[in-house]
Structure 1
Amino acid sequence: MIAPRQPSFHCKAVVICMTMANPTIIQGGMGVGVSGWRLARAVAQTGQLGVVSGTALPLVLARQLQLGDPDGDLARVLAHFPRPDLVDRIWSAYHVPGGKPTDAPFKAIPMPGLRPSEAYLDLAVLSAFAEVSLAKEGHDGRVGINLLEKIQFPTLPTLLGAMLAGVDYVLMGAGIPRTIPGVLDALARGEPAELKIDIADATDANDGLTRFDPRPYLGNPPCTLLRPQFLAIISSATLALTLARKSNGRVDGFIVEGPLAGGHNAPPRGPMVLSASGEPVYGPRDVPELPKIRDLGLPFWLAGSVAQPDKLAEARAAGAAGIQVGTAFAFCAESGLLPDLKRRVCELSRTIGALRVRTDPLASPTGFPFKVLQLLGTLSEETRVFARQRICDLGYLRQAYQRPDGTIGYRCASEPVEDYVRKGGTIEDTKGRLCLCNGLMANIGLGQLRPEGPEDALITAGDDVAHLARFLPEGADSYHAADVIRWLLGTPATA
């Protein structure tokens, strides 16, 4: 349990200065824990926008506590949370002094769902608070949090936790986040918020709404929260126009992401056509119409293999405020990827053609194409995929569905095939699916230990991974976030 402490959380009204210059570079919110607080802090300290990944934060916090919080970072920032009783309860439930035995599996946590338990909500709020607080610690730079619209169940408590820590930006893609601006407005007022959840096979009688009351977390007297700026991640001018005109609140800008970016990609427009290697074929219709986006009058940033000074200049010439960069930061020293994985990838980047990224149309149970780095010893190898026992025990990509009796169930195309079919899914939908939840946790050293061995990593990256060597000093096998910033801006290194 955290040592006794004096209350040190002070709430006050905060107003965004709308004349503040937009960042030139936004660091992408990659994967589970890859864009962790150390990376976001390093980028924010340079004056650019550092971003933490908001995906599966409750799981990340619970497993970090089971590793013992060896540096005391979590204990330090959680002492500032407005509900010490909640902190103590979670600390007691998950913290293992000195860390769990290396041969012991991680303790399970509640799974997210349409009606999440109080224990899950507490963990979601606290984990986002901790991640953003650590990213903002020790500097006055700006920090954002990245969420996926397709992962809906944890969204509301995650946003509140981030806002309690003073997050400056919320970035969201992988869907149409039209109602998120209104959610941010409600939470900033300290009022209950609701979010419509996509439910397969739902009838009109099922409203699919999940509701969340922030008031139990705001302390006494209650906090007045910052309403962060909202940036929607899009791939077309049509979607930008829809969000700008039909969202239920203010949209502050766009990140225009092309198919060369890592992680989940938007599917090609029109019928899905696959190449000879089984990858989606993108064509002229998938090139965003930048003049139409520029005419909306909102700032926008370009993303997807743009981590070059000339690409930054081209983006600015097209009217963009700057660029979003993911892959170059994903493999720097401050990212959450395991050091050995980063070292191997950086070394391979020195050899032309040694690194390849496959845009897999089936890997993700969300149905979105997902970029997978082809690397030995990871789930990019079919033999490892076939050897792995299918299991869905984390549940972040589960889909809610309505049973014939009207109750809600959950299924995932990556779970055991017989389970998925029994829940109304089709065998066809299970083919080629990978367990992103467990694979991405393994990337950052928090993978589960199974009876047959540890979970394998599953690395996503953009096509730009082949060019990481540009950041590596002669003879070195690593580089820093600040090196990427300097290279992009043409700023000489300081002595």
Structure 2
Amino acid sequence: MANGGRYRPYEIRGKGVWVTAAQQLGETGRHALPRIIQGGMGVGVSNWRLARAVAATGQLGVVSGVALDTLMTRRLQLGDPGGHVRRALAAYPRRQAAERILERYYVPGGIPEGRPFRPVPRLGLRPNPWRDELQAAGNFVEVWLAKQGHDGPIGVNYLEKIQLATPASVYGAMLAGVDYVLMGAGIPSEIPALLDALAAGRPARLSITVAGADAPHVITFDPSRLAVPGAPPPLRPRFLAIVSAAVLAVHLSRNPATRPDGFVLETPVAGGHSAPPRGRMRLSETGEPVYGPRDRIDVAKVAALGLPFWLAGGYATPQGLAEALAAGAAGIQVGTAFALCRESGLGEHIRRRLLRLAGRGALHVRNDPSSSPTGFPFKVARLAGTLSEERVYAARPRLCDLGYLRTPYLKPDGDVGYRCPAEPVDLFVRKGGSAEETAGRHCLCNALTATAGLGQTRQDGYAEPPLVTLGQDLGFLAHLPAPDYGAADVVAYLLRGGTPDVPAVPNPTVRRSDALAPQPASPI
């Protein structure tokens, strides 16, 4: 079969026998369904080390698939400490492409401190084989490294908003044998068909939203351009759609062409982007979106679909796992607990500062309605010296040079341009945007890359400041070893209740009944 031997949801397997996706994945998949999915966080926070550590416990380790071309090339320009990127590129099927990447980006010993990184091509509608190669190779490297030394499952997490990167990125991950693809921050209705096409070695089509256009533009990605002649197509990974409403899960599951292999149901307290409240946006006294009864996920309605699902956002406790299983879920997705562990890709000095603040009960996370250029609310941890401080934000020159979150728009002449509300205000307005859209927007592309320790330094010496995103449920920290812990400690705590004699950390817990209520935020 084109999908590597895996049955489609509800496909007939034998006369008169209907098989649900939950049964398929448990019976015919390469791994049993995990109890725990490690969230795919930030740019490089969910890196290959973290995903590998989680997968080594038998749970689903996930790498973030955002900006992996930039991360790969910047690691090479820093001299590739440990030789990990070069080791992975040595396994990349396209040898000439790997050699070209090394020739262009690898700097033995690393670039001098203060020198800017060499860029990668920005995303766009026009075909660019070199850009596709970098996207595919970056995803291959991260997934391949994550899969070494264990037999556990590895997934990759993408944002639906970054549509232009998706086909080449997914294909690179598939070449490395990725087991799961997860996607949120939008409606990923075309991903199942994309995976089917890539696993069959056929050209894949993906619709691209263009602001102001009457219909989406369509790009075509031909995997044969990045395949080794004569090599079989890669296996089709399972696809999990990350959603925040039962109505979207029902919509996706109705059509075999859009039906995923499962869902992650995410509440608003989960880290990173979250869906805005349904209906008119209302803000709390702290300026955070107010969620109400309409925003609660009807878990029973999703369970009735017969597809496996996981609950995320405020479930990072043994009790949360038990509650999820009792509701019919396969398990839970956990992000923040892994983001703060020692295998995380957070810059080490940032991670330790966050843990010290948490130890004093002074780590606060705000759901900011305006910081993300996507228009989605975005969780921001308040940390001195980062863009969460107004003075740091005001001092940063507005600039959009990575461009992952740029929006294609239709120009008056019929051509397609690109704009981002985090770019210079006058430039954004000249492109048809409004000045109001730019208020409070952060350049997440640069900021999150800096959070992972790979921030750009400008020609004038200005260094990009970081911005930290975490979930708003921090109660798990009271049950993990202080002042430091590993990914295996998180898994052990969730599956077995943790160790009994761990010193308590005074952090507020978002109880399940309060998961949709606005959380207080106060300055550090």
- TM-score strictly above 0.5: yes
Alignment check: 8 A CA contact 1:402 1:409 kept: yes
Give the aligned partner of residue 274 of structure 1. Answer: 283
Q: 1:478 maps to which residue?
A: 484
Partner residue in 1 for 2:430: 422
The answer to whether the Cα contact below 8 Å between 1:349 and 1:467 also exists between their aligned partners in 2 is no
Q: Could you say what secondary structure the match of 1:421 adopts?
A: helix
Shift of 1:62: 1.0
What's the offset of the Cα at 1:276? 1.3
CA shift at 1:113, angstroms? Answer: 1.1
Q: Does 1:183 align with 2:183?
A: no
Per-residue CA deviations over 1:120-151 (Å, capped at 9, x if unaligned) read 11100100011100000111110000000011
Map of 1:158 onto structure 2: 169
Task: Specify the alignment match of 1:5 in structure 2.
Answer: none
The one-letter code sitting in structure 1 at the alignment partner of 2:207 is K
CA distance in 1, matches of 2:238, 2:431: 39
Aligned length: 476
Q: How far does the alpha carbon of each residue in 1:319-341 deviate from its partner, in whole angstroms, 9 at most, with x for none?
A: 11110000000010001001111
Deviation at 1:478, TM superposition (A): 1.6
CA distance in 1, matches of 2:274, 2:364: 17
- The runs of 5 or more residues in structure 1 that have no matched partner are 1-11
The reply to whether residue 112 of structure 1 matches residue 123 of structure 2 is yes
Query: What amino acid is aligned across from residue 223 of structure 1 in structure 2?
Result: P
Match among 210, 227, 231 for residue 240 of structure 2: 231
Any conservation in 1 of the 2:342–2:485 contact (CA below 8 Å)? yes
> Which residue pairs with 2:139 in the alignment?
128
CA–CA separation in structure 2 for the residues paired with 1:491 and 1:276? 36
Instruction: Provide the C-alpha distance between the structure 2 equivalents of 1:14 and 1:178, rounded to a whole number of angstroms.
Output: 21
Matched, 1:443 2:451: yes
C-alpha distance in structure 2 between counterparts of 1:15 and 1:87, whole Å: 30
Query: Is the aligned partner of 1:378 residue 2:386?
Result: yes
- State the 1:464 CA deviation: 2.1
2:321 is the counterpart of 1:312? yes
| Correspondences of 1:199-238 after superposition (within 5 Å) | 199-204=210-215, 207-238=216-247
Quote the residue 2:364 is aligned against: 356
Q: What is the CA-CA distance between 1:454 and the residue it aligns to?
A: 1.1
* Structure-2 change in CA distance of 1:492 and 1:395 (3 Å): closer
Structure 2: runs of 5+ lacking an equivalent: 7-23, 500-524
The equivalent of 1:296 in structure 2 is 305
Asked if residue 27 in structure 1 is aligned to residue 38 in structure 2, the reply is yes
2: CA distance, partners of 1:370 / 1:179: 25
Is the partner of 1:288 in helix, strand or coil? Answer: coil
1:391 aligns with 2:399: yes
Cα deviation 1:195-230 (Å, max 9, x = unaligned): 1101001145xx511111100222121222111001
What is residue 505 of structure 2 aligned with on the other side? none
Query: In structure 2, what is the equivalent of residue 432 of structure 1?
Result: 440
Q: Distance in 2 between matches of 1:75 and 1:305?
A: 38
User: Which residue of structure 1 aligns with residue 73 of structure 2?
Assistant: 62
Q: What is the CA–CA distance in structure 1 between the aligned matches of 2:120 and 2:184, rounded to whole Å? A: 26
Alignment TM-score, normalising by the size of structure 1? 0.94
1:250, CA displacement in angstroms?
A: 4.2
Q: Using the alignment, how far apart are the partners of 2:339 and 2:446 within structure 1? A: 18
Contact 2:114–2:461, Cα closer than 8 Å, also in 1: no
Alignment partners' CA distance in 1, 2:44 and 2:287: 29
Give the one of 62, 81, 85 matched to 1:51.
62
Residue 393 (structure 2) pairs with residue 400 (structure 1)? no
- Give the whole-Å Cα distance in 2 for the aligned partners of 1:471 and 1:378: 26
Q: 1:137 to 1:491 in 2, by over 3 A?
A: farther
Letter matched to residue 493 of structure 2: W
Once the 2 structures are TM-superposed, how far is the Cα of residue 21 of structure 1 from its aligned partner?
2.3
CA distance in 2, matches of 1:116, 1:30: 28
Seq. identity, %:
56
Shift of 1:189: 0.3
Deviating more after overlay: 242-251 vs 190-199:
242-251
SS across alignment from 2:194? helix
CA distance in 1, matches of 2:5, 2:235: 7
The separation in 2 between residues aligned to 1:472 and 1:164, in whole angstroms, is 37
- Provide TM-score, normalisation by structure 2: 0.89
Deviation at residue 492 of structure 1 after TM alignment: 6.7
Report the alpha carbon displacement of residue 101 of structure 1 after superposing the two structures with TM: 0.6
Match of 2:264 in 1: 255
Aligned mates of 1:315, 1:296 — CA distance in 2: 16
**Contact conserved, 1:178 with 1:247, CA < 8 A, in 2?**
no
**2:203 touches 2:222 (CA, 8 Å); kept in 1?**
yes
Q: Say if 1:349 and 1:466, in contact at 8 Å, map to a contact too.
A: no
Shift of 1:465: 3.5
Is contact 1:349–1:355 with CA below 8 Å preserved after alignment?
Answer: yes
1:487 aligns with 2:493: yes
SS of the equivalent of 1:243 reads helix
Does the 8 A contact of 2:189 with 2:259 survive in 1?
Answer: no
**Two-structure CA RMSD over aligned residues (Å):** 1.5
How many Å separate the matches in 2 of 1:346 and 1:127?
30
Q: 2:480, 2:351 → 1: CA distance?
A: 13
Where 1:281 maps in the other structure, the secondary structure is coil
Contact 2:79 2:106 in 1 (8 A): yes
User: Does 1:71 pair with 2:77?
Assistant: no
